[in-house]
Amino acid sequence: MESSQYLLGIESTAHTFGASIATSDGRILSNAKDVYTPFTGRGIHPREAAQHHCEVSSQVILRAFKEAKIRPRDLTAIAFSAGPGLGPALRMGATIARGLACYFKIPLVPVNHAIGHIEIGFLASNAQDPLVVLVSGGHTLITAHAGSHWRIFGETEDITMGNLLDMFAREAGLSPPTGVSVEQKARMSKRLLDLPYTVKGNDVTYSGLLSASIRKFHEGCKIEDLCFSLQEFSFSMFAETVERSLAHTEKRELLLTGGVAANKRLQQMLRNIAQEHDSRFYVVDFQYSGDCGAQIAWTGYLAYMQGIVIDVENSYVRPKWRLDEVEWKRIQGNLSH
């Protein structure tokens, strides 16, 4: 494949600084990253995250090139995550991307982070036209593609599933990565506590569930029981809206992607729902579920193919950039596998 094109993708929406090289035939040659970890009990501080990204950026990018065995001058374009995310963190990634694009005189491609999660989910599966479930620290939504936009069928009306698990875990003193800690504790219990279950049509709200769980923690409930109940309630609520959307859209495929997609219990629930509705279930490749450069590099290529490039002067980051605002064509890419 001498004729392959290479894209560098830079991810820096939140705690992860990632750099990756993707090819036009859908191979991820490298996926280097370094994750900023706040102290136990604390959340991401945007300025500290940006500082972290600044410190690790050059070595992460160098590692991406080294693993991919290509040189910077082989690049066709550079993609960066333009939003949504934390302003300072986004600006750090964007600054580096702009610098490289200017130096090597190659196009700069802005990528919506949510579409990045979705497209990298497609890459590892053969899904054609699925209902997509995106669950992460920044998103909790149900979407499907129609008429050049991703249409949102259901979402959280307040905090995301990632926020919920993270904020509870921090309050309870569990160590990062908090999602993994909650999942491990949850496996040690089968006792369901009484918590609020809030579904509004195809939407969910989690803030009530968070407050109730924290209150129960301070009242002395066992952490294992709480983690188990928190997962069961939050996942069941969301799974219910997924099932309703699946019945409404009548899609034959269901694709789960995003950081929380790595949770085995959530996978199990959604797989079960897909089976009940005779839909095929796909889940994003574990290594690409959390924020990573690969999602930006590969999506950057797809964006570049539909002519999405931006001048450096106009390459502002967009901390608020909703998925359904983006005009996006679904192209299958020229995959080699």
The residues of the shown chain that bind other proteins, judged by CB under 8 A, are 83-84, 138-139, 141, 144, 146-147, 149, 151-153, 155-158, 160, 192, 197, 199-203, 232-233, 236, 239-240, 243-249, 268-270, 272-273, 276-277, 320-325
Nearer to other proteins, 52 or 117 (CB): 117
Q: Which of 172, 257, 176 is nearest to 223 (CA)?
A: 172
Nearer to other proteins, 27 or 244 (CB): 244
Concatenate the DSSP letters of all residues of 39-72 into one string: PTT----HHHHHHHHHHHHHHHHHHHHHHHT--G
Min dist CB 157 to other proteins, Å, is 6
Tokens of 258: 């995003």
Min dist CB 141 to other proteins, Å, is 8
Q: Which of 132, 145, 109, 89 is nearest to 242 (CA)?
A: 132
Nearer to other proteins, 84 or 130 (CB): 84
Nearer to other proteins, 9 or 154 (CB): 154
Tokens of 3: 């004729």
Q: Which of helix, strand or coil describes residue 232?
A: helix
Min dist CB 50 to other proteins, Å, is 19
Nearer to other proteins, 95 or 241 (CB): 241
Min dist CB 78 to other proteins, Å, is 24
Q: Which residue has the tokens 């830079």?
A: 10
Q: Are 305 and 26 in contact (CB under 8 A)?
A: no
Going by their DSSP bridges, the two strands 253-257 and 131-135 should be labelled as parallel
Min dist CB 65 to other proteins, Å, is 32
Helix axes 293-305, 113-123, angle to 10 degrees: 90
Min dist CB 26 to other proteins, Å, is 28
Nearer to other proteins, 4 or 202 (CB): 202
